[in-house]
Structures are given as structure tokens and as C-alpha cells.
Structure 1
């Protein structure tokens, strides 16, 4: 037996799947740009060149991970999707199956949500096509369940339900497994049955926007680039060009990319904290406070779309001390929502309350960035209504 034959015999038949699993874990923990081919190969005990027998590059690994993940999701859901239009028997099994799948593949859900932008263009198109087929089944079933809905309204509610499931990738709250799945299914059902409610509480007090300074122009340009391409893919030169500022002039305002990212994170944290203070001060009850917070959060996201995406996804690229501080502020903000929700609904424990809150926040975060929904004229009221439906379920 030759040496090549011996190596081939020893090579596991599932090496490609092993590499994909290892890559997904590394991408989730470190971010796509911080992971190299050699890191992925080393995670399964082979050399970097050995990985090229299975994948052309790490971008191809990401494509394989996400496309096979969508296929697994479709396989599990197609069996129950046909019953969507029967509220007596079909809807609950579908929602529960989707909930269980989301929890089982929680890490993949996070990867799909936050690293999918790094896919090769062909893989991005294919991912959109496959998810579009799955979404079309949801929309068709929802239209049969609720024939009064227009195509656009059905799409809004379907994407909102998918955001409920996707929210599990944005946090680590972990209620008991059976209860977790039931709760997610309850939340998704609240969304697909949401009839809309009057905008509650009113908007937060309007604050005039200051005239954009050169520093603000740079911050705005940078957050847009970070959101679209990721922190590591953007250079200071890119930021300067986007803001119409060349060369060393950038450094009069920021010491470097990390300084810009930290400023963006603090800006978002300040806006959220200010809205929280306004709402809790004016509220007459925990329920009223949550309704006011829903409207305040929607207003903040709609005027800070790039900032909220960067705040949610990029602060891990900061130095550890700064990242830790911003994560503390994020947790404190969610904790205050959860505290109010538990006062309104004492049957929820802390983990369950955080699942509900994160679902509401994720729906508001996701839909303004979703094609076909962004330009809806009543989107602010619709987002508020959806968040309230989740909080009041």
C-alpha cells in the first residue's frame, strides 16, 4: 500500500463537514475577518493546504455552512408547512418546529444573521433564492390563514416571525428547553396574528439634530461602511473618501478606526439610555413604560439604523476594556426592559423575560433593513405595533 493510499484511507469521509463545523464555530466566536484558513484547518488537525482539497477559500466555507444550514431548515419545515392555513392543527406544529430548529442551530442562526454579508456574490444570490422559496411558503400559508392581508402585509408579518426566531442568535438567555421552544412559538404566533394597535405612549420628545460637523460626517460615513462591509474590511482611507476628507485630516478627529467604533458605540448607548429615562419617567405603569419604550426604540432605530447595526455587531472588534463596557451598557438596557416586563407579567422568569424583550428588539432592528419593507409609509407605527404585540402576549 502506498503512502498516498494510506493517507487517503485515514482521511475521514466527513472531513468537509468537520471543516464546515469548525469554521462556523470560529466565525461565530471571532468574526469572519479574524479567522484564517490555517485556523480552520488546525481546528480539525490538518494543515492549511489540506483544507483546499475541500474548499477553495474560507469564503467558500462560509457559503457551504450557510447554504447547507438553509437546506436543513427547509427540510424540517416543509413537512409541516402545508398545514399553515389550518389554525386548528397546522399553525402550531409549524411554529413549534421552527422554534426547535432555531434553538438547536442557535450558533448557525447568529452566523447567518451577522456574517452572511461576507459571502461570495454568487452564494449571496443563491442564499436569497433559497430563503425566498421558504419565505414564499410562509406567505402563502399566512394568506390562507388571514385572507384579509395584502401581499405586503403578509410579507411584513412573515419577516417579523423569522426575526423572532433569529433573535435567539443575538443573546444567551436559556430558559428550560421545552419552555424555550414553546415561548418562541407563542411569540411567533403573536406576530402572525397581530392585527395592529394604536401607536402607544407617543414618541419620545423630539430633539433637534445639530448641524453636521466634520467629525460627525466621518462618524456617519464610518458607521455606514462598518455596517455594510464589516469593521476589518474598512480602512481609514475608505472612511475619509466616503466623507470627502483626504489623508491625515482624518486623524484630527479620530486616532484610528477603533476610536471611531468606540464613539459610534457610545453614541448609540447614550441615545438608548436617554430614551429609557424619558419613557420610565413619564410612564404611569410598567405596561405604559413598555409601550412608550417600544415607540422610543422604533424612533431611535429609524434615525440611527447604521449605528444600531454597528452597536449590535461590531463592538467585539474594540479593545477588551471598551468592548466590555459597551456590552455592560447593552445588558443593562435589556435588563430594564425585562424588569418592567416581569412587573407586568410575573409568570415570566428572568430568562423568559429576556427572550421576549430580545425578540421585540430584533424585530425592530431587522425589518427596516429588509427589502420590500423599508419604504412602507407606516413602518414606524407597524414596528411599534409588532413590538407591543410581543410584549403584551
Structure 2
């Protein structure tokens, strides 16, 4: 293709192709050649538009934030002056763009760690500008909220919209209105008063770990921070004060570390599920107990849950298939209970609500400003319950 006949939107085509591939395979499993081939050009032609793969990711995420800001600009701008009437249009617009750009929604949540530092800073700056207007409007809507509470509810609502990047469920009708309804329920949620016992999990004194346990903990943290492919056995050894080859005395390879971390998380979730079902008096009680169990498990397993939800594609095929089946089965139990509580709720809509609740619990502890909140466990449980009740009451 000659320069004269080259499409004017080639850069946008490449960005769209990259977003789809990054979302499907993960950043490290996609090469420049893959992106170029998906757009119908050669790898050398791609370099006329982008310096490298990291540059492509930066463009995708920054333009995505700009698109979101443009779509919700009018609603956000008027939120501070008239929060009652502008809230619903804002939530619906945010829901619509999140659904339309699902692959981008997933990238925002999980692939931003691979950006250059300058792009990360720029992304945070643009997102902060948008969030500031949103926070101002929420404080006008609910003046009784403290600054911390307003931030928590704003981020939780964003998690509701971001949850669509973690699943492919599509309700037969009213997907965006359902998502907006769940977001509004979060924004209007009553947060519980902090209880003295809420953060006991943070103050327990753990026994001295074995070398194997040290390695597993270090590897899980590094996988979360950098991604599986960006971590070497030497990195894992260095994090625990030993040489990389010494790690092999405890684990056969990096995949074995990932498998051990993933199975540990799966086992914790399974135990919580079994206990919730065994002690509940009815489906609604089981759902409440399950939500609390999930919160408690995530709060003591933050690195594990991040790895378990993002890195299974890097396991050997048989192990990955087994653990993905366990993930689906766990979510299916939530969906089953919710539909028993609300028989009129169809399965895709129930899945949307369950994933929204799970994503709030997954995301909030990853945000540094919230990690020291007293009573965070109670707040997360209340927010998850709010989302599930809102879905049940909407049908």
C-alpha cells in the first residue's frame, strides 16, 4: 500500500486491534507483529505510527480516558449544580461507554502497570480531573458524607462499571440501565459505622514463614506488580535474599509458583463458599455470608486474588483449564443464590450483578487511600450486599 493510499485512520485501527489483543491475551503475550497483522499491515509499517508496543498501550489507554471524559462531560459538568437531575444521565452514559468499550475497560483495570512512568502519570492526571468533578457532585448530592466516604462510593461505582471487562454476560434487555441502576445503588448506599473488630485481620502476628512460603509470597507480589512474564526466577530469589538458582530447590519453575498461588486462592474461596452454604438459614442469608466470606478472604489475600484473577492464562493448559472451571463454578454459586432470592432475574443479569459486587471487593483494597480505613471489611460487605439487593429489587 502506498503512502498516498494509506487510510487516514490507520493509527486508530492499530489502537483498536491492540486493545482487542491485549484484552484477550494479555500485554506480554502480544507482539508488535500480532498487532500489525490484526490491522492488515506489516510490523515495519506499524513503526510509522508507534515507537513500540508500550507506546501503543499508552495511546490506547489515554485516548480511552479521553473518550470516556467526552462522553460524560455534559453530565459531569452539571452534576455539581444540579446533582439530583444530572446523576442518572451521568451513570447511564458511563454504563454505555463501559459496555461499548469492554476490552478497553479491562485494560484500564489490569494492564496500566505496563505503561511507561510518564504515561502512567498522565493517565492518573486525566482520570483525577474527571473524578474531581464527579466527587464534587456527589458531595452536593450527599452532604452528610465525609471526604473519605465520598471517595469510597465514587471508586466503588467506578468498579461497577469496570466489572464489565471481567465477563461476557449480556442481559437480553436493558444492560446499560441495569448497570446504571447498580451504580446508583452504590452512590446512594448507607455505609456502616466502623466496628472495633473490623480490622483484626491486619494486626494478627503471623509465625515465621518457611523459605518455600517466603518464595511463594514474594513471587505472588511480583506477579501482581509486574505481571507474570516480567518476573524472573532471579527476581524472586533476590526478593527473598537468595540466588535465583536456589529457588529451584523449592519450586520446579516459575509456572509452579503461579500454580501454587492460584490453587491456594481457589482453596480459600472454596472453603468460604462451603462454610457459607453450611451455616446459612436461607438463600438470602447464604448470599450475605458468602459476600462477607469473600471480603475477608480478599483482605487477607490481596496479592493472591490479583494473580488469581489475571494470570491464569499463563499456566500450563491443563492447570489453567481446571482453575478457570473452579472460578466459573464459584461465580455460578453466587448467581444461583441470587436467582433464588430473585426468581425473576435472568441468568445474564444476575451474572452482571455478581461480577459488579465481586469487582468492588477486588478493586477497593488495591487502592492505597482505602487500605487503612477502619471498618473497611464491613463497608465492602455492605457495598456488595447493596449491589445484589439492587439487582434483586430491579426485577
Question: What TM-score, normalized by structure 1, do the two folds share?
Answer: 0.94
Q: Who is 1:243 aligned against? A: 240
Contact 1:225 1:234 (C-alpha < 8 Å) held by counterparts: yes
Matched, 1:186 2:181: yes
Q: Who is 1:116 aligned against? A: 112
* 1:282-327 CA distance string (max 9 Å, x none): 1111111111111111111010000000000001111111111111
Q: Who is 2:325 aligned against? A: 328
Contact 1:83 1:89 (C-alpha < 8 Å) held by counterparts: no
Q: Who is 2:152 aligned against? A: 156
Gaps of 5+ in 1: 1-5
Shift of 1:89: 2.3
**Farther-moved stretch of structure 1 (59-68 vs 189-198):** 189-198
Q: Who is 2:69 aligned against? A: 74
Cα distance in 2 between the residues matched to 1:342 and 1:198: 30
Gaps of 5+ in 2: 391-395
Aligned residue for 1:90, secondary structure, equals helix
State which of 364, 382, 395 in structure 2 corresponds to 1:367: 364
Aligned residue for 2:60, secondary structure, equals helix
Q: Who is 2:214 aligned against? A: 217
Q: Who is 1:173 aligned against? A: 169
1:92-107, aligned counterparts within 5 Å?
92-107=88-103
Cα distance in 2 between the residues matched to 1:392 and 1:209: 36
Contact 2:156 2:364 (C-alpha < 8 Å) held by counterparts: yes
Aligned residue for 2:251, secondary structure, equals coil
State which of 359, 363, 382 in structure 2 corresponds to 1:385: 382
Q: Who is 2:49 aligned against? A: 54
Q: Who is 1:339 aligned against? A: 336
Cα distance in 2 between the residues matched to 1:382 and 1:136: 22
Cα distance in 2 between the residues matched to 1:209 and 1:151: 33
Aligned length: 385
State which of 25, 33, 48 in structure 2 corresponds to 1:30: 25
Q: Who is 1:125 aligned against? A: 121
Aligned residue for 1:363, secondary structure, equals helix
Contact 2:169 2:351 (C-alpha < 8 Å) held by counterparts: yes
Cα distance in 2 between the residues matched to 1:45 and 1:272: 43
Aligned residue for 1:45, secondary structure, equals coil
Contact 1:82 1:90 (C-alpha < 8 Å) held by counterparts: no
Cα distance in 2 between the residues matched to 1:124 and 1:260: 28
Shift of 1:245: 2.3
**Farther-moved stretch of structure 1 (26-35 vs 120-129):** 26-35
Shift of 1:162: 0.1
Aligned residue for 2:179, secondary structure, equals helix
Aligned residue for 2:174, secondary structure, equals helix
Shift of 1:210: 6.2
Aligned residue for 1:392, secondary structure, equals helix
**Farther-moved stretch of structure 1 (38-47 vs 250-259):** 38-47
Shift of 1:29: 1.5
Matched, 1:348 2:352: no
- After superposing on structure 2, the runs of 4+ consecutive aligned residues of structure 1 that deviate more than 3 Å are 82-88, 197-200, 206-211
State which of 255, 258, 264 in structure 2 corresponds to 1:258: 255
Cα distance in 2 between the residues matched to 1:91 and 1:337: 29
Cα distance in 2 between the residues matched to 1:213 and 1:371: 28
Matched, 1:227 2:224: yes
Shift of 1:357: 0.8
Shift of 1:209: 6.1
* 1:33-81 CA distance string (max 9 Å, x none): 1111122122222222211111111101000000000000000101112
* 1:180-221 CA distance string (max 9 Å, x none): 111101110110000124799x99xx9996652211111100
* 1:220-261 CA distance string (max 9 Å, x none): 000000000000000011011112222332112111011111
Contact 2:298 2:362 (C-alpha < 8 Å) held by counterparts: yes
State which of 126, 129, 136 in structure 1 corresponds to 2:132: 136
* 1:351-371 CA distance string (max 9 Å, x none): 111111110110000001113
Contact 1:221 1:239 (C-alpha < 8 Å) held by counterparts: yes
Superposed CA RMSD in Å reads: 2.0
